[in-house]
Structure 1
Amino acid sequence: MNRCRNWRAAAAIAVAVSSWTGASALSQHKHVSDEELLNLLKDAAPASVFAGATVLNMAPDGTMKVVREGNNGWTCMDPSGTDPMCADAGGMEWGKAYMTKGPAPQRLGFIYMLRGDNGASNTDPYATGETPDNNWIKTGSHVMIVGAEAKSMIQSYPRSPKADPTKPYVMWAGTPYEHLMLPVK
């Protein structure tokens, strides 16, 4: 994919991607310096992925800045300020579909969140905070397999609203954005 087009797509996704991880609002984004961001992201994915990834930093006003232009098709960012992640092109495409409430792309995507997440509803993709009935869950170090192409692969994994975050499970089961959560530690 053309680097410029890849960056534009990543920036468009990242403006609102904070909801991927359950962050309540862009205004609550914890801005960090470029140096702090690079330090946070270095453990979000394997070193070989991070080394060649495009790195984006979100300003308090939601604008995106390329901190480092990559060459391996991966994009790393911390859209909520607490949930560093790295996604391949399919993962970024899935994030854009989720953000815009569009159809899940057929393309398979992969997202690393090796530093874990700050929590999200396991049943409501658009929940912005924990409530007594939205099955809030925090998953430690994990990877995500996303995209409509993943649906047949994930059917045999647990789909319970009250998932065990120490074992593989399907998040947002029954929605267009259901995906496989795979804890790695």
Structure 2
Amino acid sequence: MKTTFFSCIALCLAAEISAQNVLPADIQIKTAVMAAPSDKQAGAKVYGYATDGTFKVLREGNNDFVCLADDPKKEDIGVSCYLAELDAFMERGRVLAKEGKNQKEIFDIREKEVKEGKLKMPKQSSTLYVLSGSKDNYDAATGSLKNGYLRYVVYIPFATAESTGLPLKPDVPGMPWIMDPGTHRAHIMINPPKP
């Protein structure tokens, strides 16, 4: 009986600690949309975290952008936004990760599903914006981030270095380059020099 009682107390405390790490929805939204271009921020759909830690829609959108709030389980700040046409691809990755698949398995499964026509990728290029920063530079009360770093990923499925003229690695900081060429996840990486 005592063991059951103390187990219940431990579970309640763990749930309370978890809930304390999840920021209010309005702060999650404010931080998430910072990754989007300014003209897309107000209308973007935003996914984030409920107080119990479940991933959910925090705000429905009315434009063509989707943003992801910071994962409270991760050490530093990381938010991203992308064209809504990438949402099926991104969601499939989240589902596979939740099932315990590793990065290679996720890549291989999505590659197969895209080639079979089961998973749709945009026909044109589609951009992912990724904003990251240190927890030390983040104000959780206001949702503001100082000295954040914004990088860009432009998905161009099945493109190659030859079809784009892009190198396979950057020669100088900020130089665009192609990653995963010839695959469903081929994309241009643009990492501006860090200040």
TM > 0.5:
yes
Q: Displacement, 1:170?
A: 2.1
Structure 2 unaligned spans of 5+: 1-17, 97-108, 115-119, 135-148
Amino acid in structure 1 at the alignment position of 2:68 = M
User: Contact 2:28–2:70 at 8 Å: present in 1 too?
Assistant: no
Q: Displacement, 1:176?
A: 3.6
How far, CA to CA, are the matches of 1:89 and 1:59 in structure 2? Answer: 22
Structure 2 matches for 1:49-64, cutoff 5 A?
A: 49-59=40-50, 63-64=54-55
User: Contact 1:91–1:147 at 8 Å: present in 2 too?
Assistant: no
Match of 2:88 in 1: 93
| Matching residue within 17, 38, 45 for 2:36 | 45
- State whether structure 2 residue 66 is matched by structure 1 residue 75: yes
Match of 2:127 in 1: 110
> Residues 41 and 164 from structure 1, CA distance in 2 versus in 1: closer, same or farther, beyond 3 angstroms?
farther
Indicate the RMSD between aligned Cα atoms, in angstroms.
3.5
- State whether structure 2 residue 190 is matched by structure 1 residue 178: no
User: What whole-Å deviation, never above 9, does each CA across 1:6-42 have from its counterpart, x for those lacking one?
Assistant: xxxxxxxxxxxxxxxxxxxxx9xx7432132123123
- State whether structure 2 residue 27 is matched by structure 1 residue 36: yes
How far, CA to CA, are the matches of 2:52 and 2:164 in structure 1? Answer: 39
The TM-score with structure 1 as length reference comes to 0.55
User: Contact 1:167–1:183 at 8 Å: present in 2 too?
Assistant: yes
> Residues 175 and 32 from structure 1, CA distance in 2 versus in 1: closer, same or farther, beyond 3 angstroms?
farther
User: What whole-Å deviation, never above 9, does each CA across 1:78-107 have from its counterpart, x for those lacking one?
Assistant: 353522111112222332455543234441
Q: Percent identity?
A: 23
User: Contact 1:98–1:177 at 8 Å: present in 2 too?
Assistant: no
> Residues 152 and 97 from structure 1, CA distance in 2 versus in 1: closer, same or farther, beyond 3 angstroms?
farther
How far, CA to CA, are the matches of 2:29 and 2:67 in structure 1? Answer: 9
The structure with the larger Rg is 2
User: Contact 1:168–1:182 at 8 Å: present in 2 too?
Assistant: yes
Task: Tell me which of the two structures has the higher relative contact order, counting C-alpha pairs closer than 8 angstroms and 6 or more residues apart.
Answer: 1
Match of 1:168 in 2: 176
Match of 1:146 in 2: 155
User: What whole-Å deviation, never above 9, does each CA across 1:128-151 have from its counterpart, x for those lacking one?
Assistant: xxxxxxxxxxxx4122211416x1
> Residues 158 and 80 from structure 1, CA distance in 2 versus in 1: closer, same or farther, beyond 3 angstroms?
farther
> Residues 181 and 62 from structure 1, CA distance in 2 versus in 1: closer, same or farther, beyond 3 angstroms?
farther
Say which structure is richer in helix: 2
